[in-house]
Amino acid sequence: MTPAQAHLTDATDPLAPVRTALLRAAEEEAERLVTAARRDADAAIAAARSRSTAVLREARRQGEQEGARAAADATARTRHAVRTRLLRAQADAYDELRRTVLSQVRLCRQEPGYPTVREQLSGQVRRLLGPEATVTEHPLGGVIGAAGGRSADLSLDAVALRVLDDASAGIESLWQP
């Protein structure tokens, strides 16, 4: 864990409640999106099974060996199509979650305590890069710093995306049946 991450997970971190609320809202939204994706996948599977049954009936009429081969091919294609659609839905849900998290975290700039948060982020940049670090405010909130060819990005977007990445295992569990 880097010092920046340790600082960001400290219990005294004023952004902890915001991150918690954002993650809760993001997880709820992701769960709704995954539920919808599962419904779509279930419908696609039902339709695929129906198509597969029809293919099997026709295949039997043409001969057992030819029918078995056609059914296997149709089932594989159907499974592939369903899997592709499910993965696409999961990617769409995650992209929507990212967009939601970023839009919500940017609202922090409107909170009365934001100047204190910005100062804490500036202090963290100086701890990471040294007291000579140049710290500038990021246009979307937070700060970025540079010193001696090194840089630190503690913009609100970067911090939120790191938190989201850290939570990725929990988010991936939403895709599990």
Tell whether the model's pLDDT for residue 9 goes beyond 70. no
Tell whether the model's pLDDT for residue 7 goes beyond 60. no
What's the mean pLDDT when you consider all of the chain?
A: 84
Tell whether the model's pLDDT for residue 142 goes beyond 50. yes
For residue 175, the number of C-alpha atoms closer than 13 Å in the C-beta half-sphere is: 15
Contacts of 31 (CB under 8 A, 6+ apart): 174
Region for 159 from its dihedrals, namely left if φ exceeds 0, alpha if ψ lies in -120 to 50, beta otherwise: alpha
Query: Higher confidence at residue 55 or residue 83?
Result: 83
For residues 45 and 82, is the Cβ–Cβ distance under 8 A?
Answer: yes
pLDDT by residue (tens digit) across 22-62?
Answer: 778 777 877 777 777 788 777 777 877 888 788 777 877 78
Q: Which residues pair with 53 in a beta bridge?
A: none
